[in-house]
């Protein structure tokens, strides 16, 4: 426990300083304050932080892809998904602890708007700028990964996993992608919520890990992760050398770009509803509606 000094009768006496996590009502206020702070970022700063967040989530996706490569058939389905989820959580840990702006987490800004502390246009500016920045960061990281040839590692197993994710995510029925997006961002925003209540870096990491691992293990859809997974698959499909396909023993798949874009929009909307409505608005109603403040 940290101790501050207090002067008592000329003597410096230690006084305890609590390290307990914030209570939910205090987390709600912290979420509001953070939303107001984000609204005051200028657009270049916001965009740069969003590019970082997209890259961080992409790195989590890369970590998960490598971890799950070749595991299918060797480990039970659930165990493989759990391992992928645990390592994918590195992405959100980097966002929260390292400092960056993620579209899915920024859905909680709706709490500050509901309390009248920022205008809708300010909130929309943040969401639009951050979504675009996230795409640049995630897709840019996919390009770097492709140019590095990292997808050829493990005798092509890493690339095979990357292609599997790209095809699966771009081929989902749009309605299913939408609802999987809602479920995903409920867990992501709960991870952000818990991290807001944490007092130490270790507490934040622990608070983030399990909700994120849960959404990956369950197969939910995260729009920023999909900004990495599908572009990487497309780059491999379009640019991998013949030797890669020969080693893999298969032809290049056909990743439906048009359907991917439709699904990305559906997942984005689902993520927004899951975070802004099912977490942010609900907690605002419980702890921050006017008669309670």
Could you identify the residue written with the tokens 């290049």?
252
Query: Contact at 8 Å (CB) between 237 and 163?
Result: yes
Query: What mean pLDDT comes out for the span 47-75?
Result: 93
What confidence category does residue 18 fall into, taking pLDDT thresholds of 50, 70 and 90? low
Query: What mean pLDDT comes out for the span 127-151?
Result: 98
What pLDDT sits at residue 293? 58
How far CA 153 is from CA of 65, 119, 143, in Å, comes to 11, 49, 16
Question: Cα angle at 27 between 23 and 33, to 5 degrees?
Answer: 150
Is the pLDDT score of 9 beyond 80? Answer: no
Look at residues 93, 116, 98 and name the one whose alpha carbon lies nearest to residue 35: 116
pTM, rounded to two decimals: 0.91
Is the pLDDT score of 31 beyond 50? Answer: yes
What confidence category does residue 252 fall into, taking pLDDT thresholds of 50, 70 and 90? confident
Look at residues 199, 191, 210 and name the one whose alpha carbon lies nearest to residue 26: 199
What pLDDT sits at residue 15? 45
3-class secondary-structure state, position 4: strand
pLDDT tens per residue across span 165-182: 999 999 999 999 999 999
What pLDDT sits at residue 27? 96
- Tokens for 98? 């390292």
Is the pLDDT score of 259 beyond 80? Answer: yes
Query: What mean pLDDT comes out for the span 38-46?
Result: 97
How far CA 286 is from CA of 186, 192, 268, 274, in Å, comes to 16, 18, 26, 17
* 89 compared with 11, residue with greater pLDDT: 89
What pLDDT sits at residue 186? 99
Is the pLDDT score of 132 beyond 60? Answer: yes
φ, ψ of residue 74 in degrees (nearest 5) = -95, -30
Query: Contact at 8 Å (CB) between 257 and 171?
Result: no
Query: What mean pLDDT comes out for the span 33-51?
Result: 97
Domain boundaries, the chain: 22-292
**Beta-carbon contacts of residue 237 (< 8 Å; ≥ 6 apart):** 163, 166, 252, 253, 254, 255
Question: Which superfamily, per CATH, for 22-292?
Answer: Glycerol uptake facilitator protein. (1.20.1080.10)
Can you tell me the distance from the alpha carbon of 195 to that of 99, in angstroms, rounded to the nearest whole number?
13
Query: Contact at 8 Å (CB) between 85 and 215?
Result: yes
Can you tell me the distance from the alpha carbon of 15 to that of 4, in angstroms, rounded to the nearest whole number?
5
Query: What mean pLDDT comes out for the span 24-40?
Result: 96
- Tokens for 232? 């990487």
């Amino acid at each position: 426990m940290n101790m501050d000094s207090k002067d008592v009768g000329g003597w410096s006496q230690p006084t305890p300083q609590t390290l307990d996590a914030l209570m939910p009502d205090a987390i709600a206020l912290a979420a509001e304050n953070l939303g107001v702070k984000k609204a005051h970022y200028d657009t270049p700063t916001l965009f740069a932080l969003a590019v970082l967040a997209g890259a961080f989530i992409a790195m989590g996706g890369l970590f998960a892809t490598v971890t799950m490569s070749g595991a299918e058939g060797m480990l039970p389905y659930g165990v493989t998904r759990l391992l992928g989820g645990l390592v994918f959580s590195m992405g959100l840990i980097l966002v929260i602890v390292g400092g960056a702006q993620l579209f899915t987490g920024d859905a909680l800004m709706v709490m500050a708007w509901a309390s009248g502390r920022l205008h809708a246009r300010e909130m929309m500016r943040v969401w639009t700028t951050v979504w675009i920045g996230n795409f640049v960061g995630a897709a840019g990281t996919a390009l770097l990964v492709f140019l590095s040839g990292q997808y050829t590692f493990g005798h092509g197993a890493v690339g095979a996993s990357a292609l599997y994710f790209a095809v699966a995510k771009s081929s989902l029925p749009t309605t299913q992608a939408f609802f999987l997006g809602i479920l995903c961002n409920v867990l992501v925003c709960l991870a952000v919520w818990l991290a807001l209540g944490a007092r130490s870096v270790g507490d934040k990491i622990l608070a983030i890990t399990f909700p994120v691992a849960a959404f990956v293990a369950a197969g939910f859809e995260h729009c920023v992760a999909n900004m990495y997974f599908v572009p990487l698959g497309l780059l491999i499909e379009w640019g991998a050398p013949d030797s890669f396909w020969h080693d893999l023993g298969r032809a290049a798949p056909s990743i439906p770009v048009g359907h991917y874009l439709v699904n990305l929009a559906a997942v984005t909307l689902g993520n927004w509803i899951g975070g802004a409505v099912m977490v942010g608005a609900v907690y605002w109603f419980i702890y921050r509606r006017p008669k309670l403040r």
